[in-house]
Structure 1
Amino acid sequence: MPSILIISDNEREKRILLMAFEQLGFDTVDAEPDRSSYINAVQFKPDIVLIRFPRYYHDHINFCKNISNIKNLKTLIIGYGKKLSDPEVGALHQNGVQQYLLTPIRFSLAMKYIENFFQQNNSEKLVWKKEGKEESSYLDMLLDKKVLPTKKISRMLEEINTIMAFPFTVMRVLKISNDPQSGAADLSKVIEADPVIASNILKMANTVFFANRNNQRINSIKDAIVRIGFSETKNIAMSIQVMKSLSSDANSLGFDRKKYWIYCISMGILTSMLAKKMAHLDKSEAFLAGLLHSFGIILLDECFPDLFITYLKETSKKMGLFWDSERRLTLITHLDITKKLFEQWKFPSDITEGIPLSVTVNKEFADNASLWEAKPGELTEEQAFAVLLFVAEKLAKACGFGSECDHFTTPLPHDLLSYIRFSPQALGKEFFDEVQRKISLYSSFFNTKITKSPAVQSDITVSVCSATTEAYFPIFPYLHSRGILLNILHSTDDLEDAECIEHLCIYCTTGEYQSSDHASIEKRRKRFQDRYSTELPVFVFCKSPPKEQEPDSLLYYFDVSCDIRLVDPVFEEILSNQES
């Protein structure tokens, strides 16, 4: 089904256009002409963007340029508005706008351009006919805030249980993991009982990641376990069991199951790696908790696509947390569904309780409350899993490991990291290189190869100045995972006096942007300009940043807690300018 993103500040006009395209069978998404438009485009990957250009349209041009630069996205951008001069229309074309229409917009002409676009791209979406689509009988009930949350969850589980099979292999692997008397022979029997898992384990054992010097081929599961490793084999077996239970094709616009599975794998890897210093936690359970922490999302896509799309649109519009949009609209979240389903399946209670508890972690620290009044090393297993999942989620989203339903990131307080006995220094380039190496091990589960974060030239240097020593900012894993060389500055004095030649300077604070902060940054920029005769690009991450970006300025503002994808187009443009 074709999809279209409509961006306009004229609400009446937008409603008419939405109705017209919906009648033709389009999946429609609407957005305001602000930063959320870019997030909508990245999330939903529309075939068509129809954007109204107002009298002053500097931000609109930047949006179109950023959309046209997204890799592997074929989108027809149609602009419309008042009559423009030939040079102005030419500028639109240079920034990705293929067609420009005058208002009042001629719908038939817009459709002609759209039909030509689909024909040129040999698209099967060239069918303007609304398919008979049965709306979920639950949608109205689920969106009704007068209905008790417990009733909603119960009705949803009834639907889910008609399609979901009990994950026997996962439970058998966990049983082996918790039995100190079990070994490779027991694990081999479990794997051999499932032909799909067995074939994938053998396939992985014979990949270049595990091949020995003699390139000897592995033909038995026991030998495969020896080559891959006992713990790694358990994690792989559980991953395959989960992923094979559902197809790889998504039902909902704006959701990519393959990228979702990559995200889940990265969560399992991160959670198990972060759990290494917590001796009382089972590492296989930690992997499983990360792998399945957002399992309710895939169930929404499978069983309740209409509701799921409603959630996704609200999340992109607000540029916030997916579970926050869920709770705002229906008073329940996918985490509530996951918890109840896992209780039915008799999953370990520390995982079952830890998954929904993870969303309370950030609020505890935001309110300056002590985390359940526990000290580091005194957390219950449920609390420990909650902290692990919260930290792993923020790292995975900052690095762009796959994709869930939002990429909302927030600073991690050092006190929070101390609960899992991790220091910010341990979360450096080597740590994320190891995560990416492990993610690559799972590439054989997917039809497409899992690629690393965008490669960056090794001579690109970024200076990062943190105004506080009490938080680990999302921009650190974002840069580490891209192979960027970091020059860490510890104060505004260091910022002003730095002698390094950087390609980008980043300033981070958990508070509001103060005039003293701005003065230090301007001193650094002036000094750089005087010495190198070029302007220094600067990113500022702060609380409540200025909403408007100064035209032609290389000083960019971001909220310290934001959808990290907002950084991508500006960051990529700066890098491309440096390379050229």
Structure 2
Amino acid sequence: MKKYNLDTIVGKVDEMPVLPNRINRIMEITQDPDSTIGDLEMEILKDQSLTSKVLKLANSTHYGYPRKISTVSRATVLLGFKTIESIVLASTVSKYLLGELEGYALGKNDLWNQSQTCAIISRYIAKYKGFEQPEQAYIAGLIRDIGKTILNHYVKNEYDEIVEMVESEGRSFLEAESIVLGFDHGQIGGKVAEKWNFPSELVEAIEYHHTPEKSKENPKLVSIVHVADAITMMMGVGLGVDGMAYGFSQFALEILEIDESEIEYIISEVSDLILDEDSFNIV
């Protein structure tokens, strides 16, 4: 059994590029209460792809606006700063989630499809439970497994040992991953989020999305992502080798005041959302 040195893993995190300056600037604007729509529009218009995504979402049936939205400023008024922030982050991280992850038995686009689904379910649960920032829940759900893109290489090398531990000892994949490697993908995901200067609540949601009872800053957000992640796996979306090795945390269910019947209700409701292409227009 080989455990990897923390510096080795962190070194891989350090090799990941930082977010582009323009993306950082847009995030600063969306998080600054003194920023104006004009400030945000000016930055968005510098990126043709981002401009197209903002206008596409504003004109989607998801918002049902009766007239065509043709300017970024009007789109921003309709969508709000938090939704714009979601579009920016989703567009930025997508390239890291699109590839094949052999170590997790995930084919090309599997992690991306899974992440989109988890994001949509996270946002639904947030709205259903009256969480104040559903778009923050969307972002957290989307990027909760970013750490897998870092650990993929190591998981691939130790794949047989991890799977054997899961099957013979009845451990979760997360436990086996941590025992064999010395780290789990949530911990490494937190390192990536810190490098990208994400808000501390998002860092925590990524790091503890399998262990919400460890969260301190925003246990409700972490619990939302945890439940959404488990539901995503239950639905078989982008199911990898670790897909069926997780259950619901009692802590998360209690803090969200969700019981088994509500889980079934949520699954029935989000099934239609996932099939609705407009739900994915944010990316």
Q: TM-score range by the shorter chain?
A: 0.7 to 0.9
In the alignment, which residue of structure 2 is the partner of 1:347? Answer: 198
- Residues 344 and 290 of structure 1: is their aligned pair in 2 closer, same or farther, counting only changes over 3 Å? same
Report SS of the residue matched to 2:208. helix
For the residues of structure 1 that align with 2:261 and 2:97, how far apart are their CA atoms?
A: 40
For the residues of structure 1 that align with 2:124 and 2:260, how far apart are their CA atoms?
A: 14
After superposition, the C-alpha distances for 1:350-398 in whole angstroms (9 at most, x for unaligned) are: 332343334334xxxxxxxxx57xxxxxx84243333223222111111
Q: Which amino acid aligns with 1:200?
A: K
- Residues 390 and 411 of structure 1: is their aligned pair in 2 closer, same or farther, counting only changes over 3 Å? closer
Report SS of the residue matched to 2:87. helix
Contact 1:266-1:435 within 8 A present in 2 as well: no
For the residues of structure 2 that align with 1:241 and 1:407, how far apart are their CA atoms?
A: 25
For the residues of structure 1 that align with 2:209 and 2:255, how far apart are their CA atoms?
A: 13
Task: Verify: 1:272 aligned to 2:123, yes or no.
Answer: yes
- Residues 444 and 157 of structure 1: is their aligned pair in 2 closer, same or farther, counting only changes over 3 Å? same
Task: Verify: 1:263 aligned to 2:114, yes or no.
Answer: yes
Q: How is 1:184-263 mapped onto 2 (pairs within 5 angstroms)?
A: 184-207=37-60, 209=62, 216=68, 218-226=69-77, 231-244=82-95, 246=96, 248-250=98-100, 252=102, 254-263=105-114
Q: Report how far residue 425 of structure 1 moved.
A: 4.5
Task: Verify: 1:155 aligned to 2:8, yes or no.
Answer: yes
- Residues 181 and 327 of structure 1: is their aligned pair in 2 closer, same or farther, counting only changes over 3 Å? same
Contact 1:335-1:355 within 8 A present in 2 as well: yes
Q: Which amino acid aligns with 1:289?
A: A
Contact 2:45-2:51 within 8 A present in 1 as well: yes
For the residues of structure 2 that align with 1:349 and 1:342, how far apart are their CA atoms?
A: 9
Contact 2:224-2:252 within 8 A present in 1 as well: no
For the residues of structure 2 that align with 1:347 and 1:267, how far apart are their CA atoms?
A: 19
Q: Report how far residue 195 of structure 1 moved.
A: 2.5
Q: Which runs of no fewer than 5 residues in structure 2 stay unpaired?
A: none
Q: Which amino acid aligns with 1:192?
A: L
Q: Report how far residue 419 of structure 1 moved.
A: 0.6
Larger-Rg structure: 1
Q: Which runs of no fewer than 5 residues in structure 1 stay unpaired?
A: 1-142, 362-370, 373-378, 447-580
- Residues 445 and 387 of structure 1: is their aligned pair in 2 closer, same or farther, counting only changes over 3 Å? closer
- Residues 333 and 181 of structure 1: is their aligned pair in 2 closer, same or farther, counting only changes over 3 Å? same
Scaled by the length of structure 2, the TM-score of the pair is 0.76
After superposition, the C-alpha distances for 1:3-37 in whole angstroms (9 at most, x for unaligned) are: xxxxxxxxxxxxxxxxxxxxxxxxxxxxxxxxxxx
For the residues of structure 1 that align with 2:270 and 2:38, how far apart are their CA atoms?
A: 28
For the residues of structure 2 that align with 1:412 and 1:418, how far apart are their CA atoms?
A: 9
Structure with the larger strand share: 1
Q: Which amino acid aligns with 2:2?
A: D
Report SS of the residue matched to 2:210. helix
In the alignment, which residue of structure 1 is the partner of 2:225? Answer: 389
Task: Verify: 1:329 aligned to 2:194, yes or no.
Answer: no
For the residues of structure 2 that align with 1:294 and 1:263, how far apart are their CA atoms?
A: 10
Q: Report how far residue 199 of structure 1 moved.
A: 2.3
Q: Report how far residue 293 of structure 1 moved.
A: 1.6
Q: Report how far residue 340 of structure 1 moved.
A: 2.3
Question: Structure 1 vs Structure 2: percent identity of aligned residues?
Answer: 20
Paired positions, count:
275
Task: Verify: 1:419 aligned to 2:269, yes or no.
Answer: no
For the residues of structure 2 that align with 1:310 and 1:434, how far apart are their CA atoms?
A: 36
After superposition, the C-alpha distances for 1:74-95 in whole angstroms (9 at most, x for unaligned) are: xxxxxxxxxxxxxxxxxxxxxx
Contact 1:191-1:237 within 8 A present in 2 as well: no
Contact 2:55-2:70 within 8 A present in 1 as well: yes
Query: Which structure has more RCO (C-alpha within 8 Å, separation ≥ 6)?
Result: 2
For the residues of structure 1 that align with 2:271 and 2:73, how far apart are their CA atoms?
A: 26
Q: How is 1:114-513 mapped onto 2 (pairs within 5 angstroms)?
A: 144-145=2-3, 152-166=5-19, 168=21, 171-182=24-35, 184-207=37-60, 209=62, 216=68, 218-226=69-77, 231-244=82-95, 246=96, 248-250=98-100, 252=102, 254-276=105-127, 277=129, 282-301=133-152, 304=153, 307-314=154-161, 316-317=163-164, 318=166, 321-361=172-212, 380-408=216-244, 409-411=246-248, 413=250, 416-429=252-265, 432-434=268-270, 436-437=272-273, 440-441=277-278, 443=280
Q: Report how far residue 295 of structure 1 moved.
A: 0.5
- Residues 182 and 278 of structure 1: is their aligned pair in 2 closer, same or farther, counting only changes over 3 Å? farther
After superposition, the C-alpha distances for 1:98-141 in whole angstroms (9 at most, x for unaligned) are: xxxxxxxxxxxxxxxxxxxxxxxxxxxxxxxxxxxxxxxxxxxx
Q: Report how far residue 240 of structure 1 moved.
A: 0.9
- Residues 204 and 418 of structure 1: is their aligned pair in 2 closer, same or farther, counting only changes over 3 Å? same
Contact 1:205-1:224 within 8 A present in 2 as well: yes
Contact 1:231-1:284 within 8 A present in 2 as well: yes
Q: Report how far residue 332 of structure 1 moved.
A: 1.3
For the residues of structure 2 that align with 1:268 and 1:199, how far apart are their CA atoms?
A: 21
Contact 2:119-2:138 within 8 A present in 1 as well: yes
Scaled by the length of structure 1, the TM-score of the pair is 0.41
Q: Report how far residue 230 of structure 1 moved.
A: 5.1
